[in-house]
Amino acid sequence: MTEGAVVSDVSPVVDQITGFRAAIGDLEPATTQAEAIERIRELEHLKAACAAAQAQATATLEQLRLADEAARGVPKVRRGRGLGAEVGLARGESATRGNRCLNLAGALTTVLPNTMQALRTGRVAEEHAHVVAKETAWLSASDRRQADALIADRLGSVGPRQLAGEVRAHAQRLDQAGAVERLAKAAAERRVSVRPAPDNMAYLTTLLPMQQAVAVYAGLHRDATTMVGTGDTTDPSDPTGQPRTRDQIMADLLVQRVTGQTSAAAVPAEVQLVMTDAALCGVDQTPAWLAGHGPIPAVIVKHWLADEAMQVFLRRVFTRPDDHQLVAVESRARNFPPGLRRKILLRDDICRTPWCDNPAQQADHMEGVKDGGDTSYANASGLCAGCNQTKENTGWRHTGDSSQLNVTTPTGHTYRTSTPPLVAGRLPENPQAGDDRGTPELPDGAEPP
C-alpha cells in the first residue's frame, strides 16, 4: 500500500491548488435534482480543466529537466530518461501511464492547440485528448496541427470512439503513404495477453490484424449460432444440463479449438498458488493467492486439487506470524540463486514500484552490488523490466528492506510502499504482536526458504 510522497518544499501555487481541493471536498450536498445535475456537469468540466493544467505542468517539467540536463552536459540521447516514471509516480499511476501522459502533454502544448483549448474549457475529457494524440502520433508536426484544426468543430460533440475514427480518417488522408507503412508495421505487434477479472475470471485478449480477428470472431459466432438453432446448447461437462447462451458457447468453442479439449482444466501449465495450511487442510476461508493474478476462493482451489488429472507439487513456505511476510534468507552470490529469486518474486508478485501493476519479473538489488549492497532477501525487490531499468537512471534511488520500499526520484520526492502479506485477506494470528520480526523457529528437518 503506497503511503504517499515526501515533499521538501511547497510553493504558494501548490498551496492554492491544495486549498481548491479541500474546498471541493467540503461542498454542501445539493438541495434539488437540477442542482445535482448542474454540479455533475460543472465538476466534469473542472476535471477536464485540471487535466489541461496537469498537462501544462508536465510539459513544463520536461522542458526544465531537458534544459537542466543539457547544462550539466548529459548526452542528448540520455536526456529525459525516467521522466515518464516520475510523472506516473506523481499521478499515482504506473510508469506506462506516466509515459502516455508525458507524450500527451508534449502534443497538447505544441501541435494540438485546438484539443488543448477544448480540454481547458471542459468541452472534452482527458480521454478524448488521448484519442486525438494517439491517432495522430505518427504524423509530422505540420500534419498533426492540420488534423487538429480539421476536427476542432467536432470536439465536444462526439464520443471518444467516433472521434477516434474521424481523426484516423483525416490522418490517413493527410499521409496515405505513412498510413500504409504504419498498417504494415502494426501486424508485427500481434500478441496474446491475459489479465485477471472479478469472480475468478480472466480476460484473454488477442491483438490481431483486422481481417484475422474478424475471421476468428465470425467463425465462432457462426458455429455457436448453428448450435443454438439446432438446440445443441448443453455442456457435456455440466452435470446440471443447463442450456448455454450463444456467448457461452463461443467461449467454450474457443477453449476447445485452442487447447484441443472441451475444458481447459487439464491443459498442462505450471502455476504458483499460495494458501494457508489451515485453508488447505482445514476450514479456514482465507483465499489462496495465484501469483500474477490475485485471490482465488479456497473452496475453488480445493476443487482444482481434487481433479485426478491435476499434478500437484507442494512446497512449504514459512511466514512471520505477525504480518505473514516471507522469512528472510541471505546469500553472498552476486546473482540471486534460483530458490531465493523464486521467493522474492513470490513475495512481491506485482512490481514493487508504487502504482505499477505489471507482474514482477526480475529480482533486483535495492542497493547495488557496486555500492556495497548484498545479495539478500532484505536487499531485494521484485520489479518489472521497465521499472528495473528506470531505477538505473541518474537521480533515482531505492532503499528499504523486505517490508518496505522507498523510491526517491530526481526531484527529491520519495514514494513509500509496504510489502503486503503473502496471502491477502488473512487475519493476524497474534493481533498484539510487537515489532519483533526475527526469524521464527522452523520445524525439525525444514529448510528456510
Q: What 3-state DSSP class applies to 417?
A: strand
pLDDT of residue 103: 96
pLDDT of residue 292: 62
113 Rama sector, left if φ>0, alpha if ψ -120 to 50, beta otherwise: alpha
C-alpha cell at 284: 479456514
| Distance from C-alpha of 340 to C-alpha of 141, rounded to nearest angstrom | 50
Query: pLDDT higher for 211 or 222?
Result: 222
pLDDT per residue over 347-357, tens digit each? 888 899 988 88
DSSP states along 182-213:
HHHHHGGG-EEEEEEETTTEEEEEEE--HHHH
Instruction: State mean pLDDT over 202-207.
Output: 90
pLDDT per residue over 395-412, tens digit each? 899 999 988 999 999 988
| Distance from C-alpha of 9 to C-alpha of 398, rounded to nearest angstrom | 21
Instruction: State mean pLDDT over 189-196.
Output: 87
pLDDT of residue 262: 59
Beta strands in 280-332 (DSSP E): 288-290, 294-296
**The pLDDT of residue 324 is above 60:** yes
Long-range contacts made by residues 38-47, C-beta under 8 angstroms, separation at least 24? Answer: 44/122, 44/125, 45/121, 45/122, 46/122, 47/125, 47/126
Decide the pairing of beta strands 380-383 and 397-401: unpaired
Q: What 3-state DSSP class applies to 368?
A: coil
User: Which one, of 262, 202, 199, 203, lies nearest residue 234 by Cα?
Assistant: 262
**Residue appearing with cell numbers 500500500:** 1
- CA pseudo-torsion sign 139, 393, 381, 272: positive
| Distance from C-alpha of 148 to C-alpha of 132, rounded to nearest angstrom | 8
**Residue appearing with cell numbers 537521480:** 395
Residue extents of the structural domains in the chain:
31-187, 191-259, 273-305, 315-449
pLDDT of residue 84: 95
pLDDT of residue 383: 92
Q: In whole angstroms, how large is the CA radius of gyration of the chain?
A: 26
pLDDT of residue 445: 44
What are the Cα distances from residue 237, in Å, to 200, 242, 425? 19, 11, 32
pLDDT per residue over 238-262, tens digit each? 777 788 898 999 998 998 888 776 5
Beta strands in 369-432 (DSSP E): 380-383, 397-401, 404-408, 414-418
pLDDT per residue over 38-93, tens digit each? 999 999 999 999 999 999 999 999 999 999 999 999 999 999 999 999 999 999 99
| Distance from C-alpha of 49 to C-alpha of 38, rounded to nearest angstrom | 16
| Distance from C-alpha of 161 to C-alpha of 357, rounded to nearest angstrom | 26
Q: Phi and psi dihedrals of 252, rounded to 5? A: -65, -40
Task: For residue 133, give every residue at least 6 positions away whose Cβ sits within 8 Å of its Cβ, in sequence order, or none.
Answer: 103, 104, 107, 108, 112, 115
pLDDT per residue over 269-285, tens digit each? 556 677 777 777 777 77
Task: For residue 69, give every residue at least 6 positions away whose Cβ sits within 8 Å of its Cβ, in sequence order, or none.
Answer: 78, 79, 80
pLDDT of residue 429: 61
In the chain, the amino acid numbered 317 is: V
Instruction: State mean pLDDT over 113-127.
Output: 95
pLDDT per residue over 351-377, tens digit each? 999 888 888 888 999 988 888 888 888
**The pLDDT of residue 336 is above 90:** no
Q: What 3-state DSSP class applies to 337?
A: coil
| Distance from C-alpha of 381 to C-alpha of 341, rounded to nearest angstrom | 10
pLDDT of residue 149: 95
Q: What angle do CA 413, 404, 21 make, to 5 degrees?
A: 45
pLDDT of residue 266: 47
| Distance from C-alpha of 108 to C-alpha of 52, rounded to nearest angstrom | 8
CA-based end-to-end distance of the chain:
24
**The pLDDT of residue 162 is above 90:** no
pLDDT per residue over 19-38, tens digit each? 999 999 999 999 999 999 99
Average pLDDT, the chain: 82
pLDDT band at 420 (very low <50, low <70, confident <90, very high): confident
| Distance from C-alpha of 417 to C-alpha of 421, rounded to nearest angstrom | 13
pLDDT of residue 309: 63
Task: For residue 437, give every residue at least 6 positions away whose Cβ sits within 8 Å of its Cβ, in sequence order, or none.
Answer: 320, 322, 323, 403
Q: Phi and psi dihedrals of 447, rounded to 5? A: -100, 140
| Distance from C-alpha of 143 to C-alpha of 146, rounded to nearest angstrom | 5
| Distance from C-alpha of 50 to C-alpha of 119, rounded to nearest angstrom | 9
pLDDT of residue 330: 41
